[in-house]
Amino acid sequence: MSASGHGSSETQTYGSDTCHAYVDGVSTSYGYVPSLAAASTFVALFGASMLGHAIQMVWFRTWWCSVFSLGCLVEILGWAARIWSAKCPYAQTPYLMQITTLIIAPTFFTAGIYVLLARFIRIFGPQSSILSPKLYLWIFCTCDIISLVVQAAGGGMASSGAGDSSSSSSQSTGTHIMVGGIIFQLVAITVFVALGADFAWRVFCREVPCRRGNAHMPVVIALFSAMVFSVLLIYIRSIYRTIELLHGWTSSTMRNEKLLIGLDGAMMVPAVIIFNLFHPGQLLRKIEMRANSVPMVSEQTLVLEDLEADSCGDKLGLLGTEHDSANNGSRYN
């Protein structure tokens, strides 16, 4: 298929990387011309977040937080490719590039979130979770790597066949592989949410025998809430991407840029920026310092407190306040 410029002998072959302005009536691989303003905005936002995370990572020496910077970098590559496509809508390289990068970028964010909950479990002790922190990381980080590899492989296979009728079989196979990777990620996140809910119930409601009463609970609640917020946005985005791919490459869902902007880009920006505002390195340090400054709460003391407490709501009301002297005496004897 070729696209000819008006009043020009130059010809644009579909799939070529030769830059050519949009020709009215000749469709692009996207089904539209990507918005330069939207792509530029996302590049700027992810760039600011990446720079912030890099500085915070070095300042607080939390090297595992590099996954947030890496995720931002992959997002930047994807949206930068769409800037390229906005200027060269028929070029195939940026089209293929943005498909794969925007699909896999959130796996870096989920990796950081998995590590964060494992750190929470390490602070609050083994009785705050069904799994140990080490086992937690092995299971979910392995799932994240599998999801990343599967989505990248499927994305590469599917995008390489886009716009080429002779590669429809390869494109279909790649799409199914990519969808499988996203669904696998959704299942992993769902299990993670269930375990995270169990952790929250044990710590905030059941008051597990740990340093729960000694930790800086307002900071714990703030960081845990940031984690929940980010997971929710990633979950919404993953559902959208699954539906989009299942509908096919020429569907109205796939060819609707507003959906991509609203349910992918606009979801991922706050999902990562929230950790600039509530940085794990800074807040975990406060929690750990407070938790390590006093002895562990005994099992026997907590059993007595459970008998005295009327409800989980009564306990939650105590999270941000200091206990009276009588409670302090019974808690730390």
Three-state SS letters, 119-132: HHHHHHCHHHCCCC
Tokens of 228: 């929940």
Per-residue pLDDT band for 50 (boundaries 50, 70, 90) equals very high
The Cα–Cα gap between 122 and 117 comes to 9
The count of domains in the chain is 1
What's residue 7's pLDDT? 39
Give the CA distances from residue 82 to residues 96, 201, 241, in Å, rounded to whole numbers and listed in that order: 10, 43, 17
Q: Which amino acid is at 30?
A: Y
Tell me, yes or no, whether 214 lies in a domain. yes
What's residue 313's pLDDT? 42
Asked if pLDDT for residue 294 goes beyond 60, the answer is no
Percent of the chain with pLDDT over 90: 62
Tell me, yes or no, whether 269 lies in a domain. yes
Tell me, yes or no, whether 183 lies in a domain. yes
The parent domain of residue 38 ranges over 2-319
Question: Rg of the Cα trace of the chain?
Answer: 24
What's residue 135's pLDDT? 93
Nearest Cα to Cα of residue 157 among 185, 183, 181: 181
The larger pLDDT score, comparing residue 46 to residue 281, is at 46
Q: What's the chain's average pLDDT?
A: 83
What's residue 115's pLDDT? 95
Tell me, yes or no, whether 326 lies in a domain. no
Tell me, yes or no, whether 325 lies in a domain. no
What's residue 235's pLDDT? 97
Neighbouring CB atoms inside 10 A of 156's CB total 16
Between 157-166, 263-272, 283-292, 323-332, the lowest mean confidence (pLDDT) is in 323-332
Query: Tell me, what CATH number does 188's domain have?
Result: 1.20.1070
Tell me, yes or no, whether 306 lies in a domain. yes
Between 14-18, 70-74, 244-248, 277-281, the lowest mean confidence (pLDDT) is in 14-18
Between 61-65, 157-161, 222-226, 301-305, the lowest mean confidence (pLDDT) is in 301-305
What's residue 218's pLDDT? 87
pLDDT tens digits, 134-166: 998 999 999 999 999 999 999 888 876 655 555
Tell me, yes or no, whether 315 lies in a domain. yes
What's residue 292's pLDDT? 65
What's residue 145's pLDDT? 94
Tell me, yes or no, whether 175 lies in a domain. yes
The larger pLDDT score, comparing residue 209 to residue 56, is at 56
What's residue 162's pLDDT? 59
